[in-house]
A and B are shown apart, each in its own frame.
Chain A
Amino acid sequence: MTDETQARPNRWKRFSDWDERPLRLDKFAAEDAASGFSAFKSPFDPKPGLSLGDGVVESMDGIAVRDFDMIDVFIARYHLDPEIAPEAMAMPSLEVARMLVDMNVPRKTLVRLAHGMTPAKLADVVSHLSSLEIAFAYSKMRARQTPGNQAHVTNAKDDPLQMAADAATAVALGFDEIETTMRVARNSWSNAVACAVGAAVGRWGALFQCSSEEAEELKIGMAGFTSYAETVSVYGTEKSFIDGDDTPWSKAFLAAAYASRGIKMRCTSGAGSELLMGFHDRKSLLYLEARCLCLQRAMGVQGTQNGGIDGAPVTCTVPGGMRELMAENLIAVWLDLECASGNDARATESEIRVGAKILPYLIAGSDLICSGFGSILKYDNSFNASLLNGEELEDYLVLQRDFEADGGLTPVGETRVMELRSRAVDAISAVLEELRLAKPTADMKLSVVAASGSDETRTFSGRDVALISEAIYDRSITVIDVIKALAARGFTEEAENLLKLVRLRVSGDYLQTSAVVRDGRIVSAVNNPNDYQGPGTGYRLTEERRDEIVAIRDVLTRQEVLRVEAAFRPGEVNRVAYRPTGPAAATHNPKEVVIGISPAFGLKLFQTVAGHPLSAILRVLIGGITEGGCTARVVRMRHTADTSFLGLSAARLAGSGIGIGIQAKGTAVIHQKDRLPHNNLELFSNSPITKVEHYKRMGLNAAAYALGEMPEPVIVPTRGEAMGSRYHARVSLIYAIETEMTSEGAEPEEIDVMFLGAAA
């Protein structure tokens, strides 16, 4: 090989940079309908169609009755309304798609039509919509007007103390539903009791479920610990359904069984499940999902957990995958089902894709935006990490604030959270002791209250938890025993709260579509129907709710900025004195550089944004100029606070024609008297990262320019920090203090600067 070929690079290094980003941990799949990797359309999807004879279905989506599989039978018999079907099926799909995004077409009209449409027709209609249109239609079509959210509360140790503390925290954050599951199946009873108790702390009304094996889950519900179920899965192909060990009839029977026990229930389905189970029939993800959703309405469940769910990650590997997840959710609400809209299984390692995934739901609203949101840390999530987790919860709170969108959550202050966590841990401990299940130590309790995750807890062993759980089951402990235990130990409020939740069963109001409990009242699609018909209708933030959403922690105020500055004042007063000596005039000293300081410099503001005392900055600027062979004169400008004009005015006063302008926040410029205001010689615009040594070199360079030399410009290196997001709120408040002190035509003032004592 020649030197030339050896030296020739074979790769743009940017690709290597990209290789290192979290995004590249995601694997993407080629579109391949025959292998089931097609989001919206597969050549193997049927054409929409329906023929009725005497009001009875003869064929549906190209399949004759005699060839119907179980799913077709169930949909044809229980979903399709023969009164509506001929009209609905005859409408052009594009026209219906336009109706979905037409604010003047009421939701009711569209829901009626959906009840006469086959799965292929529903899929065909929504496939005409762009992502934006889907989000908009979703916002219009979702059943309950007020949006909500659901949390996962689990931990890696199945620790009941942490379960209770985290449940109470989730309730305080505003989650309408809490879902738990466990690492070890036999711990389900312990989890259920702990979450039920924790969710009764602070307020009542958060519905709670314990995801476990079907029969076990129903038993836990019967004992009164849980109030809803959602892991009743359905699938879009018959073979998947059978592999999932159920049929439409067995699942519908289970749905009726839940109703008979007064437990709210929704089914689960999502794109990609058939693909993962190996029986996709070469159909598109959306078509299979449309079948699942028609089936769920046919079964008579009030709602669905839908939007990929466990299949979301594989769905997001195909082109249009995220759009498909939105489209299936749209079909769900169009069919008039409550929609717990996925956004749970973490479909990507890219935080950008996470944010993009959640945004349409946040601004469109959803019955339960996530199903659920990992309110605990990722490693504690026994369902596996969610799209959003304890780590990112504050990001979500800020997104609510950014978009003034109700994502169902409310920021909670640190003190309140600690009170609630302590109370929850005390309450579950009291129950465990009172029912002779366990005796948590003070150390265990304290470690849990403060713990962000189970890595930090010193608590029960896995064996302890299994014994607690088995004892609850063996001794047939019910919610009544738990309520009594709480009351016996003085947790009257929690006992009342838990009783109120179980009492919901008596009337069954919360079994209706999209029911949640808000402020002690049932809110559902029946009494809070989505009436969106354009601006001014539908869900709107009330002023009160907006106040809650915007109240995130650590918000800067003008008072806070002034307080911080005032705290800096005493130190600076001991380091420097600025003595005005009268109006400043131009001189003819060719070696003189003027430093123009801003109006509030050293008077109201005392440090740069980087935290350097202004005395130190002024000392090195003067030092640099002097060292460079010139003399420095300090002038306070009072007509402007703008860096460029501070510098230009200083330059015009300087005998050398070279001036430095500096604001109190640390932004500085070297100017020359004949230049245009914004065409300076050197500028330090990123004051937060400008170091004292940079100002020293600025002084040296100013002297060099004064002597007619061409120095190497001083560059303040940036690593791409988001300066604006980090500093602009504070900078704007600080700068306002400067501009307030300016007055039109006020003359520059000569300042005698005296440094006192040692440098800061």
Chain B
Amino acid sequence: MTGKPLTVADYPLAENRPDVVETKAGKKLDDITLDGVLSDRVSLEDLRITDRALRQQAEISTAAGRPTLAANFERGAELVDVPQDVIMRIYELLRPGRASSKDELLAAARELRETYGAEGVAAFIEEAADVYERRSLYKKRF
């Protein structure tokens, strides 16, 4: 992110700062029109949030005094490019008793870090791996 962090006054970005809002392919909000959809210039991909937008929203949350919400947006930003099936697989692994050992969670964290650069989420999963061990969540569930 360049320049000063966004503030509450910039919000909502779509109304007050459309200049900083764009899709992954570089389209502006004004490009996302019904005509665009009908002529296939706008796809579902253009209707996805970007990591940049999430980090912008995190700046606004921070400015509004909501650091935990900002942290969630930061984690979300890291997951934007993680494919759906990977997300669902790791979510499943985080549920109690799914991982049979700490190593499985650590491997998932590594995958997120190395393949997707999701450093914060990886650390978050490593933290879970420790806590699960201490609380005996690796036991087999029926």
Binding site for B on A (CB under 8 A): 69-70, 73, 77-79, 108, 111-112, 214-215, 218-219, 222-224, 238, 241-242, 245-247, 249-250, 252-262, 297-302, 336, 478-480, 483-484, 487, 492, 495-496, 499, 502-509, 511-513, 521-522, 524-527
Contact = CB atoms under 8 A, between A and B. Distances in A.
A505 B124 CA distance: 25
Given A503-B32, A526-B64, A260 B71 contact: no
Q: What bracket does the count of chain B residues touching chain A fall in?
A: 35 or more
10 contacts: A218-B84, A250-B91, A253-B124, A259-B72, A262-B48, A480-B37, A506-B46, A509-B15, A511-B57, A526-B8
Contact of A509 (B14, B76, B124): B14
B32 A499 contact: yes
Contacts of B71: 78, 300
A277 to B, nearest CB: 14
B88 interface: yes
Contacts, number: 204
A544 B92 CA distance: 50
A106 to B, nearest CB: 12
A505 B48 contact: yes
Nearest to A256: B75
B132 to A, nearest CB: 7
A480 B44 contact: yes
B5 to A, nearest CB: 14
Contacts of B4: none
Contacts of A298: 68
B106 interface: no
Interface of B: 8, 11-15, 21-23, 29, 32-34, 37-38, 42-44, 46-50, 53-54, 56-57, 60-61, 64-66, 68-73, 75-80, 82, 84, 87-88, 90-92, 94-97, 121, 124-125, 127-128, 131-132, 135, 137
Contacts of A301: 69, 72
Contacts of B84: 218-219, 222
B60 A260 contact: no
Contacts of A483: 34, 37
Contacts of A253: 75, 90-91, 94, 121, 124-125
Nearest to B55: A508
B63 to A, nearest CB: 9
Given A260-B79, A511-B73, A525-B64, A70 B49 contact: no
- Which 6 residue pairs of A and B lie closest in terms of their CB atoms, listed nearest first? A300-B72, A259-B76, A262-B49, A249-B128, A260-B79, A256-B75
Contacts of B29: 503, 506-507
A508 B94 contact: no
A484 B90 CA distance: 34
Contacts of B78: 256, 260
A169 B35 CA distance: 28
Contacts of A499: 32-34, 37
A219 B13 CA distance: 27
A496 B42 CA distance: 13
Contacts of B77: 259-260
A246 B66 CA distance: 25
B121 A508 contact: no
A108 B65 CA distance: 9
B57 A509 contact: yes
A100 to B, nearest CB: 18
B12 A509 contact: yes
Nearest to B79: A260
B118 to A, nearest CB: 9
B49 A508 contact: yes
Given A256-B76, A260-B79, A512-B11, A506 B124 contact: no
Contacts of B96: 241-242, 245-247, 250
Given A260-B49, A300-B70, 4 more contacts: A218-B88, A246-B95, A495-B37, A506-B48
A508 B20 CA distance: 12
A70 B131 contact: yes
B105 to A, nearest CB: 9
Residue among B95, B121, B132 with the highest chain A CB neighbour number at 10 A: B95
A507 B52 CA distance: 9
A69 B96 CA distance: 14
A506 B72 contact: no
B34 A495 contact: yes
A480 B82 CA distance: 22
Contacts of B44: 223-224, 478-480
A123 to B, nearest CB: 20
Given A506-B14, A506-B23, A509-B57, A487 B49 contact: no
Contacts of B131: 70, 73, 247, 249
A300 B54 contact: no
Nearest to A298: B68
A250 B96 CA distance: 8
B58 to A, nearest CB: 9
